[in-house]
Amino acid sequence: MEPRVSDVGVLDKALVLLSAVEAEPLALAGLVAATGIARPTAHRLAVALEVHGMLRRDEDGRFRLGPRAIALGRAASAAYPFRDAAGPALAALRDATGESAQLYVREGDRRICLASLESPHGLRTIVDAGASLPLEFGSAGAVLLGDPTALARGWAESVGQREAGVASVSAPVFDGDRVIAAVGVSGPIERLTRQPGTKYGPAVMAAARRVEQALRGS
């Protein structure tokens, strides 16, 4: 059955297509399989989304998110009030660890990267601001899902969960008792080790407290 979230069927189907491509590039057959939308409808909507820049096709003919979707994601991330407030804390975290630093918030069953600062190392992880990632993988996802162990300890870690060869550590940003964001660092396992929390847990927790202080002062 095709998912519906509103009374505007064509819009629902278009968003289902975008969500499917958000997870991975898909050819038309993959779009049909992932969404359950009839092939002629999926093709018509995908081509229309391509015209509007929401989708594009790569060299293999697969549909990917297009430049307009990326621009909208960045604009949406910039609209969050604490993105700028968190900037100094993220910069300090990146400088202290030498690794890429990110700020995430939860949006439904996804996590959105509001801000991202890249490591100065040639080998580094890159997450674009505005990127949408699954909650079930990665340390930031565990924090935003309210994992009891992560909240009790103050940080969560992941090793090769979302992407092979990548490790990360994230800490929750609180508003009272509510987790409103996750601050973290990510990089190759060779540098972060297979126990990245032991190495950088205190640093990401300190960064999260700095974000909270900045929010109280904003």
pLDDT tens digits, one per residue of 174-205: 989 999 999 999 999 999 999 999 999 999 99
User: 146 and 47: one domain?
Assistant: no
User: 31 and 90: one domain?
Assistant: no
User: 191 and 90: one domain?
Assistant: yes
- Residue 3 included in any domain: no
The pLDDT value recorded for residue 2 is 41
User: 80 and 155: one domain?
Assistant: yes
Residue bearing the bigger pLDDT, 36 or 128: 36
pLDDT in tens, 8-47: 778 889 989 998 898 789 999 999 999 999 999 999 999 9
pLDDT at 100 over 90: yes
Report the CATH number that the domain containing residue 34 is assigned in CATH. Answer: 1.10.10.10
Phi, psi of 48 (to 5 degrees): -65, -40
- Name the domain boundary from 25, 43, 65: 65
Residues 6 or more apart in contact with residue 176 via CB below 8 angstroms: none
User: 133 and 159: one domain?
Assistant: yes
pLDDT in tens, 149-160: 999 999 999 998
User: 32 and 95: one domain?
Assistant: no
- Residue 87 included in any domain: yes
Overall pTM surpassing 0.85 (yes/no): no
The pLDDT value recorded for residue 30 is 93
According to DSSP, residue 165 is labeled: T
User: 199 and 165: one domain?
Assistant: yes
Residues 6 or more apart in contact with residue 218 via CB below 8 angstroms: 81, 82, 85
**Residue 74 parent element (H or E):** helix 67-78
User: 85 and 48: one domain?
Assistant: no
User: 82 and 190: one domain?
Assistant: yes
Beta bridge partners of 113: 104
- Domain range holding 20? 9-65
- Name the domain boundary from 65, 90, 112: 65
User: 59 and 85: one domain?
Assistant: no
The total of structural domains in the chain comes to: 2
Cα dihedral: 122, 206, 110, 139 (round 10): 70
User: 116 and 175: one domain?
Assistant: yes
pLDDT at 3 over 60: no
The pLDDT value recorded for residue 51 is 93
- Residue 4 included in any domain: no
- How many Cα neighbours within 13 Å face the side chain of 158? 24
Mean pLDDT along residues 59-64: 92
